[in-house]
Amino acid sequence: MAGKRDNPEEIVLKLRQVEVLQGQGRSIADAVRQIGVTQPTYYRWRKEYGGMSRDQLKRLKELETENTRLRRAVSDL
């Protein structure tokens, strides 16, 4: 059963929502439940995208696409 995949911008927004909810005194479990993801998903997202701004996220996506392009070029040689 596959679920909906969130794009990185949505993930960063959801991580910020959890931070706001924690600031209001909610537990992590309640905050994560409110944004509609499981705790393992939240911790995985936080490990990968935690503390990123939109500019950093944009740069990360650019580097990933460039890396993919370079890997294809090397494998073709």
Alpha-carbon distances of 61 from 14, 56, 65, 68, rounded to whole Å: 18, 9, 6, 11
User: In 1-77, which residue ranges form alpha helices assigned H by DSSP?
Assistant: 8-23, 28-35, 39-49, 54-76
pLDDT of residue 37: 92
CB 45 within 8 A of CB 54: no
What pTM was computed for the model? 0.71
pLDDT of residue 46: 92
For the chain, the domains span 8-76
pLDDT of residue 30: 94
pLDDT of residue 2: 62
Per-residue pLDDT of the chain (77 residues; tens, 9 = 90+): 566 788 888 888 899 999 999 999 999 999 999 999 999 999 999 998 887 877 888 888 899 999 999 999 999 88
